[in-house]
Amino acid sequence: MTYARISSGIPWEERFALYRSNYAQKQRLVDAGESSWLHDDPYEIADWVLLFTPIEAALWSDIRAAGLPLWPQLPVGRFFVDFGNPVHRVAVECDGSEFHKDKAKDAARDAELHAMGWKVHRIEGRRCLGQALECDDDATQEERAAHLELRTPAPLIEQLRRELGRDTSPARAHFGGAA
């Protein structure tokens, strides 16, 4: 089965409609036992490297290096999560300054996702990029090491490894809502 081709030149609204269509097609294959959310390659949905924002691309590199079974721009109910696992219902949102200025809106969105059984992790865009945060000049070596870890996605990646594990069950995933 082939998926619709999605390019960066397509308007956002159309692009997200194609993501939703491709993922619905993927779910039909999972339901038929012909595909897997845990073991298949997300690049079958789209050529993500051409579509990501810089912070999504940076975090995606870490996700892939860790071998985490996450799917980019996964539709969940009426939303799209930056990265999601529909079997474990875990989502990761990269909070860049451009799209995440309204903390109340993000909190309401997270509450709606939680109500559908999803756990949402948020990570600041600068952490996705590993950008330096201010550190006191007189900080100890241990404080500097802790500070370095806080400016990377490493703690989140480690937490996701624990949460996602390597589940091989054929459980049906629902990216649309209730189980």
pTM exceeding 0.85: no
Residue 150 lies in a domain: yes
pLDDT tens digit sequence for 128-157? 677 545 555 666 767 655 555 556 777 888
Predicted confidence band at 76 (pLDDT cuts at 50, 70, 90)?
A: very high
**Strands across the sheet containing 119-124:** 71-76, 79-85, 90-95, 119-124
Residue 35 lies in a domain: no
Please give the pLDDT value at position 100: 53
Residue 174 lies in a domain: no
Domain that holds residue 114: 53-164
Higher pLDDT, 165 or 44: 44
Residue 179 lies in a domain: no
Question: Considering the chain, what is the average pLDDT of its residues?
Answer: 83
- What percentage of the chain reaches a pLDDT higher than 90? 55
Rounded CA gap, 140 and 123, in Å? 26
Predicted confidence band at 31 (pLDDT cuts at 50, 70, 90)?
A: very high
Residue 84 lies in a domain: yes
Overall number of domains in the chain: 1
CATH of the domain at 126: 3.40.960.10
Residue 132 lies in a domain: yes
The whole-number average pLDDT for the span 11-40 is 96
pLDDT tens digit sequence for 102-130? 788 889 999 999 999 999 999 876 776 77
Residue 177 lies in a domain: no
Residue 65 lies in a domain: yes
